Structure 1
Amino acid sequence: MKSMDFEVRVVESSFVTPSEPAPRKGLWLANQGHTPTIYLYSSNDVAATADFFDVARLKEAMARALVAFYPLAGRLGINNDDGRMEISCNGEGALFVVAQADDLTADDVKKFKPSPELRRLFVPLIESSSIMLAVQVTFLKCGGVALGTALHHVAADALSAFHFFQTWSAFCKHGDRATVELPCHDRTLLRARSPPAVHPDALLTFYPKHVLSSPSGPLAVQVFTISKDRIASLKHLCGGGTSTFCAVSALVWQCTCLARRLPPDSEARLAFPADLRHRMSPPLPSRYFGNAMFWLGVTSAARDIATEVLGSVAGRIRGAVDRMDDELVRSAIDYFEMAEMDSRPPRGTLPQTDLHITSWLGRPQYDADFGWGKPELMSLAENHRGGVVFLMNDDDGAGSGGVRLLMCMEAVNIKEIERLLYAKLALAACC
């Protein structure tokens, strides 16, 4: 959607601090940037009251949520003793911006793809080395609201981020009657062993570093949807017990290898973040707050990925997930502790032999009900790195059970990927 004529007018900008005293300390972490997302809410006959998305009510609820989620009220800093990045839990607050879009409706916003323009309009622009959390409440011409968020990935992975938004919205909707689950902030649960020990298989399974370069040509962003019925057919084709993630990832990887016309002997690589909460012994608390994701990798000759039946490709992916046990997780933690990590956010795009797939499937994307109904749409606001795909629930707030693919790929290949994707889905439906 062409949006250069659209502007959003900032009405107010302030910081929301915890409503009660919170711990002041440093939390160690890894190096990453902010994840921009957008929630879209439409006012209806029931919700269109004078207090629809009342700013004071939202701020009060956030202040209460930040008591438990105090790292999000902190700042990114450097530990003076070892020079390591850490969150300085100082209670300075989360950025809260109020804006007005006089020319945009909720239907207009739905037409945007994840892009720098969508992020510019609805997500606060902040430095990657500063604030942990920033939100922007934009009131639309139609009476609806776009809630843009930027949460630093070093502070929380997707599961932890959704936990915060569930808590904030619960306080806003129910006040003192809200039932919330408190987060666990014990970062020592992911502390390296002394002395560290890296299992030989760990470096074959985990991807400690991504190779990025400048794109060789223009990139394109496309959003594909797969219905619940097509997902069921695809999983059946891949074999009993195949997860939605493994089935869809196998399909995308195969279509991508074919569309890119990779040399048959080239090494095709698929990488994806996996949740380690339940892969450790003992497992992490389910409400562990932080970034508890490690990148797993699957490597094979491009000819094999392009020609194998989808069930075999899905089996390769499932095998990598199944190998992630406590020893491999501990080895990865030890490796990252010893490795010399770059403190700068990574830039560039992936080589055409590589594909990264991040899954938000099964996450509570649509649970952020602040008292005026669930969002009609929840999406990533920007996807700008070639070779990166996000898998999200395509619920439309109504539980349709489909999958939405947010793909950033080489512009010359994106149409062929789309053709192959839907052709293979149609074939799976006939099997």
Structure 2
Amino acid sequence: MRRLATDDADFGAAFAALTDRDSPALAEIDARVAEIIADVRDRGDAAVVEHTRRLDRRPDATMAALEIDRSAMTAARDALDPADREALEAAAARIAEFARSQCLTDHSYTDAHGNRLGQVVRPIERAGVYAPGGKAAYPSSVLMNTVPARVAGVSEITLVSPAPDGTVNDWVLAAAAVAGVDRLFTIGGAQAVAALAYGTETIPEVDKIVGPGNAYVASAKRQVFGRVGIESVAGPSEVLIVADGTGDPRWTALDLFAQAEHDEMARAMVVCPDRAYLDRVAAAVADMIDDQPRSEIIRVSLANHGALIACADLDEAMMLVNRIAPEHLELAVAAPWSLVDRVMHAGAVFCGHRTPEAFGDYCAGPNHVLPTGRTARFSSALGAYDFQKRISVVEASAPGAAALAPIAARLARGEGLFAHAASARARSDEAG
């Protein structure tokens, strides 16, 4: 892992390089994805099958074979070890409990002129969920993306998840059953996103697509936005650990491993004013990394995107937090809540030595679909509210119309929209 210090002469440049999210390969990816989207839009099922055969190494795939029946999902759930099933169901229950606290509700009020103003809340009708299935399978992602949709009242949920070489993960099937997925297709990549956005002869068109994926999935979601809604364009996952030197360095090393094992592009960093503690973390990483089953991925991730950063104090650490705007922020300090009020930009915050980010990945309750790549500056975690729409409702009283008409008419004339002005004036008592 790289060692940086805020008092290094070249820290600014090194820090910028560490947090840079641009990639020269994105233009090439976007162009290829655009071709796949156009192909699926034009040829439907045939294009989905063709791209899946080629990209997922499934030469004999047919559209019928790509769909998993609900009975297979249920069978996978029932075949789990009872303790495993209990864990899935407990996680789903905690996610649902938190999602229910997020639900928006109808409201209205009457203003001083007797006008009734408010909004009604309605769920979107059809959601598409993307669950990754490349380097690892993510049943937790199935739960995190699907359970809030159910809580919000979405009536139809379609799950897509790739099955390279035709291998379908039983945990993903079981999670789909627990979460209440309606239809499941073992397809991934840009072709899956395009199929959800435009619909095919077999795959239903949806209103919103959620869920993380690789660079091709992110590009596809970005390109179909507007045709459908999306929750975000996810980049590589990341964690920033703010430490004060009071914690166990082995715990910090394990938290770095937990992030880095996602894939080689994952980013894991520690910022701490105690340089001796950073030395102990580095020693723990070296001592423990060989014992990790995914050590090869972890090594690449930490070598290319990991860092141990020495800072002057926790005030400076929090300045770096808000510059990075991390997806996951661990406050591994003795008094974490003293720092929470100073967090301006983060996807989720994990407070104290006994709260690893891994709790958030699976079962704490808040969603693990979070803004990455500094997008926490303007976006938030996925929640039930992402599957709800707010519809404004206005009813003008007679006195209210008289009060609103001259305001609306004057503004309309200022915009050169004279029919607007006449329409507003017609509702005013002054118009006779």
TM-score range, shorter-chain basis?
A: under 0.3
TM-score (norm 1): 0.22
- Say which structure is richer in helix: 2
Q: Higher relative CO (CA 8 A, sep ≥ 6), structure 1 or 2?
A: 1
Length-normalised TM-score, structure 2? 0.22
Name the structure with the higher strand share.
Answer: 1
